[in-house]
Amino acid sequence: MRHLFSAVAAACLAALLAFLLLPVAAVLIRVPPGSAWWGEVALDALRVTLLTSLVANLVFLLLGTPAAYLVATRRFRGRALVVTLLEVPLVLPPAVAGIGLLVAFGRAGILGGELSALGLEIPFTRLAVVLAVVFVAAPLYVRQAVAAFEAVDAEVLAAARTLGAGPFRVFRRVALPMAAGGLAAGWALAFARGIGEFGATIIFAGSLQGVTQTLPLAIYAQFEQDLDTALAIGGLLIAFSLLLLFTAKMVPGWTRLRSTSTSTSRAGTSA
């Protein structure tokens, strides 16, 4: 009976793996050889994607890291609610995110009047792409960052404070290095999610080559005109996503090795 169950579970695993990996492998197999497809559309899309992702990552790292630290280290009323609210975009369909961004920050949106008073028209600009990426990627990063900071031993932080370190110094010199592995893992996952952002971008930012057309949007536009280009961009995105995924899996491992050694030495001194 136990053998049967193991066999069935193994078959389920094999079926799932095959199903999940076949489309990935199929794109890689069908990527046309050579580099003739590497035309202006793909290059422009790569440029737009890298630029907007860079800015978006800076935004969610700078906002998300202190925010996650606060949530992870303080106990306050409504904390669980705050954590849940931060994750709302994760469960939203991207198309809903796009429409939401449009009716919030669009010209005719809730903040449209205020924004145009500031001379800001966001839809169809690179800023719109950045906002769409931040919207979908930031919650992913913050969730991982909260977990990373929660894993930092509170007593170490307390000890640093007893030794006279101010809150900012504790954050920068103690908490940040100790959580670095988890933060990097979260960042890699959020980066990958942002690179692949499609639904919110095409609704909120539209699609214009060289301006707002990111790699996933270029795939969509090229899909029926030039399947080879679409496949080639797909192959590039797969390579990039795999790189980020493996980064996310490996980096905490490296730092855990280091943190394990520090905790052993700490145990040694306290003994």
Partner 1 sequence: MRAGPAALAALALAAPVAGCGGGEPRGATVLAASSLAGAFTALAPDARMSFAGSDRLAFQVEQGAPADVIATADPAILRRLAGRGLVGPPRVFARNRLVVVVPRANPAGVRTVGDLARPGVAVVVGDPGVPVGAYAREALRRLGIAGPVLANVVSEETDAAAVAAKVALGEADAGIVYRTDARPVAARVRVVPVPARAQPQIAYAAAVVTRPPVRPDGEAFLRRLTGPEGRAVLRRHGFAAP
Query: CA Rg, the chain, in Å?
Result: 22
Which one, 47 or 126, has the nearer CB to partner 1? 126
Q: Cβ contacts of residue 160 below 8 Å, gap of 6+?
A: 169, 170, 173, 174
Which one, 43 or 243, has the nearer CB to partner 1? 43
Q: Which two tokens stand for residue 187?
A: 């960042």
> Alpha-carbon distance 244 to 155, whole Å?
33
Q: How far is the CB of 236 from partner 1 (least distance, A)?
A: 18
- The secondary structure of 16-46 as a DSSP string is HHHHHHHHHHHHHHHSPSSSTT--HHHHHHH
Q: Helix, strand, or coil here: 83?
A: helix
Which one, 73 or 209, has the nearer CB to partner 1? 209
Q: How far is the CB of 47 from partner 1 (least distance, A)?
A: 17
Q: What are phi and psi of 78, to 5 degrees?
A: 80, 10
Q: How far is the CB of 222 from partner 1 (least distance, A)?
A: 8
Which one, 209 or 241, has the nearer CB to partner 1? 209
Q: State the amino acid at position 154 in one-letter form.
A: A
Q: What are phi and psi of 263, to 5 degrees?
A: -70, -30
Query: HSE (CB half, 13 Å, CA atoms) of 125?
Result: 10
Binding site for partner 1 (CB under 8 A): 22-23, 26, 29-30, 102-103, 106-108, 121, 123-125, 205-209, 211-212, 220-221, 223-225, 227
Q: How far is the CB of 138 from partner 1 (least distance, A)?
A: 23
Give me the torsion for CA of 264, 268, 270, 271, rounded to 10°. 130
Q: State the amino acid at position 24 in one-letter form.
A: V
CA separation (Å) from 210 to 41, 183, 213?
8, 32, 6
> Alpha-carbon distance 209 to 103, whole Å?
24
Which one, 186 or 199, has the nearer CB to partner 1? 199
Q: How far is the CB of 61 from partner 1 (least distance, A)?
A: 29
Which one, 28 or 239, has the nearer CB to partner 1? 28
Q: How far is the CB of 111 from partner 1 (least distance, A)?
A: 13
Which one, 38 or 124, has the nearer CB to partner 1? 124
Q: How far is the CB of 225 from partner 1 (least distance, A)?
A: 4
